[in-house]
């Protein structure tokens, strides 16, 4: 059997298992865990299934932290870089689509006469990204407990470039990935009811850090500029 056939077999198997696991999770968490345990016995098969899960995640609007939970369950803490790469990678397709939609409004939004909501939103986002820097804007926003895809679309609408978007996503999602991997490592114990998920204090702490990172640029962009205009 050649390498291409082997890779194709793992991809097909991963697709099927990812779909079964998703359905089982909706019906019975214990059933999903039993399938994940079987999947984790083969690292290659498990990796293929997680990659497929990452590929379909934007279509299903699942939270990106789910990927970190699954990776933590199968690979433990050593899988943290893999989980972070998947989380960043799964944000790229929505970013590309939103970026293409923004470009349809016009390459330079300052010259667009359209006063619609989309144009105003893009211009406000551009001002904020220019004031804070793309990496800081994306990283700080991702620390907030907001839907990942909403942050992605906002970054694209604000004209954040691909490289700052990727770096900012990696920085901002890293704490969430660590939390997800921690949950995945303890998933069996949590399913048995002998523990809790992420401590709310951790979420509040990350949100506080994100607010501090963004407070200065937000003030300079929307408060001080409006006061100067008045």
Nearest-10 Cα torsion for 222, 105, 158, 114: 10
Q: Do 128 and 30 reside in the same domain of the chain?
A: no
Mean pLDDT confidence for 37-59: 88
Is the pLDDT assigned to residue 107 strictly greater than 70?
no
Q: State residue 158 phi and psi, 5-degree precision.
A: -80, -5
Q: Please give the model's pTM, rounded to 2 decimal places.
A: 0.77
Q: Do 95 and 36 reside in the same domain of the chain?
A: no
Q: Do 31 and 98 reside in the same domain of the chain?
A: no
Q: Do 76 and 127 reside in the same domain of the chain?
A: yes
Q: How many domains does the chain have?
A: 2
Residue 19's domain spans which residues?
1-61
Q: What percent of the chain has pLDDT over 90?
A: 30
Q: Do 41 and 55 reside in the same domain of the chain?
A: yes
Cα–Cα distance, 166 to 89 (Å, whole number): 9
State residue 13's pLDDT score: 52
Check if the beta carbon of residue 183 is closer than 8 Å to that of residue 197. yes
More confident residue, 45 or 225: 45
Q: Do 181 and 72 reside in the same domain of the chain?
A: yes
Q: Do 2 and 91 reside in the same domain of the chain?
A: no
pLDDT tens digits, one per residue of 159-170: 899 999 999 999
pLDDT band per the 50, 70, 90 thresholds, residue 198: low
Q: Do 23 and 127 reside in the same domain of the chain?
A: no
Q: Do 172 and 210 reside in the same domain of the chain?
A: yes
Check if the beta carbon of residue 82 is closer than 8 Å to that of residue 53. no
Q: Do 102 and 73 reside in the same domain of the chain?
A: yes
């Amino acid at each position: 059997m050649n390498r291409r056939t082997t890779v194709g077999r793992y991809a097909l198997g991963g697709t099927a298992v990812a779909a079964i696991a998703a359905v089982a999770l909706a019906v019975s968490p214990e059933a999903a865990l039993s399938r994940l345990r079987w999947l984790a016995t083969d690292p290659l098969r498990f990796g293929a299934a997680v990659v497929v899960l990452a590929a379909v995640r934007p279509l299903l609007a699942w939270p990106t932290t789910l990927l970190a939970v699954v990776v933590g369950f199968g690979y433990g803490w050593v899988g943290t870089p893999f989980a972070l790469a998947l989380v960043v990678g799964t944000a790229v397709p929505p970013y590309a689509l939103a970026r293409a939609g923004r470009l349809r409004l016009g390459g330079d939004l300052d010259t667009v006469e359209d006063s619609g909501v989309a144009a105003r939103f893009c211009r406000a986002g551009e001002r904020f990204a220019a004031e804070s820097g793309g990496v800081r804007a994306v990283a700080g926003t991702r620390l907030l407990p907001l839907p990942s895809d909403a942050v992605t679309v906002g970054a694209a609408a604000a004209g954040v470039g691909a490289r700052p978007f990727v770096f900012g996503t990696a920085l901002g999602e890293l704490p969430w990935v660590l939390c997800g991997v921690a949950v995945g490592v303890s998933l069996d114990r949590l399913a048995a009811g002998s523990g809790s998920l992420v401590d709310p204090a951790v979420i509040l702490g990350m949100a506080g850090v994100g607010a501090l990172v963004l407070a200065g640029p937000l003030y300079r962009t929307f408060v001080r500029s409006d006061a100067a205009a008045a």
